[in-house]
Amino acid sequence: MSNRLLSPALRLAAGGSLSICLALIAAGCGSSGPTMGRVSGVVTHGGAPLTKGNVTFVPDDPDAPYATGQIGPDGSYTLATSEFGDGAVVGSYKVAISGLGPEDVLDYIPPDASDQPQSPISLKYADVNTSGLTATVERGSNTFNFDLE
């Protein structure tokens, strides 16, 4: 079939569709962000599940985003990044774990120091420089369980 048999409107539509398809294919060939790994696990304290808190993975690579996850009532967590979604960028991390849930922090208005919410775990775990916890995230599924003293 020659172009003379197609109306100008059909030629324009066909050409536009082809252009869109080529643009989508080209976009798919480019980088869509860093390589990610799915990360989940369970946090326990003395063998029992930590029932609330947060897990934060801070990357050794200063250009990579950190990843966080909220600890559920069964001690489980799943990490996500704010920029790239579920998981964590592949690489090495220092890990911090807080035993305080959002309700402890957001609802807290400090009348005095004695009324501060108390963490069920040592505060050393809340700082990547003192927690002693590390992880290396690889492509695919990663499980990191932490049993805190």
**What confidence tens digit (pLDDT) does each residue in 11-61 have?**
444 444 444 444 444 444 445 789 999 999 999 999 999 999 999 999 999
Whether residue 77 contacts residue 66, with contact meaning beta carbons closer than 8 Å, is answered with no
Whether residue 41 contacts residue 27, with contact meaning beta carbons closer than 8 Å, is answered with no
Closest CA to 79 of 104, 103, 54, 106: 54
> Which CATH number describes the domain made up of 36-148?
2.60.40.1120
Give the whole-angstrom CA distance, residue 49 versus residue 33: 34
Query: What mean pLDDT do residues 72-88 have?
Result: 95
Per-residue burial over 24-44, b if 16 or more Cβ lie within 10 Å, else e, is eeeeeeeeeebebbbbbbbbe
